């Protein structure tokens, strides 16, 4: 783990989420995309000076994992993501320590990254995301 990459926040409506994080909190929307694989529209929000970002996640439809999260828990913190050099190696190391990962191998993430998740029951109740950034 190199650093905290971002925190994921589930929102029912991406534009309303942006009103708060950009309008009220002074962030800047720096990346927006639709991730069909994950069933979300997502926006990365940054602040001057760098540091971890906030990733707003809104469901594309009712079958999306984010839609199910919102239905069960309501809007709010959905995940804590860490930057890793190699998502497969990080996942293997965590499996060796007894953690369950959600996927057998990495999947496509935001902006060409590769991702996997540690099941919350193995991470103190927190969904932990491993993010290997896209090659420069």
CATH number for the domain spanning 16: value is: 3.10.180.10
pLDDT digit string, tens, across residues 52-70: 999 999 999 999 999 999 9
Three-class secondary structure of residue 25 per DSSP: coil
pLDDT at residue number 1:
86
pLDDT greater than 90 at residue 136: no
**Cut 0.85: pTM above it:** yes
Average pLDDT over residues 18-36: 96
Measured distance CA(10)–CA(94) in Å, rounded: 25
Q: Could you give the C-alpha distances from 105 to 83, 85, 95, 100, in angstroms and in order?
A: 16, 15, 12, 12
Split into its structural domains, the chain has a count of 1
Neighbours of 126 (CB within 10 A): 13
pLDDT digit string, tens, across residues 66-82: 999 999 999 999 999 99
Alpha-carbon dihedral angle through residues 26, 14, 67, 81, given to the nearest 10 degrees: -40
Owning domain of residue 10: 3-132
pLDDT tier, 25 (very low <50, low <70, confident <90, very high otherwise): very high
Neighbours of 70 (CB within 10 A): 20
Three-class secondary structure of residue 106 per DSSP: coil
pLDDT tier, 92 (very low <50, low <70, confident <90, very high otherwise): very high
């Amino acid at each position: 783990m190199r650093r905290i990459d971002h925190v994921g926040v589930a929102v029912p409506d991406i534009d309303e989420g942006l009103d708060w994080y950009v309008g009220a909190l002074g962030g800047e929307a720096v990346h927006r995309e639709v991730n069909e694989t994950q069933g979300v529209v997502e926006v990365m929000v940054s602040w001057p000076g760098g540091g971890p970002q906030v990733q707003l996640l809104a469901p594309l439809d009712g079958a999306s994992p984010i839609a199910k999260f919102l239905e069960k828990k309501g809007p709010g913190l959905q995940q804590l993501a860490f930057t890793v050099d190699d998502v497969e190696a990080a996942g293997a190391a965590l499996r060796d320590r007894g953690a369950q990962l959600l996927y057998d191998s990495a999947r496509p993430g935001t902006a060409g990254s590769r991702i996997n998740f540690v099941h919350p029951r193995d991470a103190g109740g927190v969904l932990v995301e491993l993010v290997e950034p896209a090659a420069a």
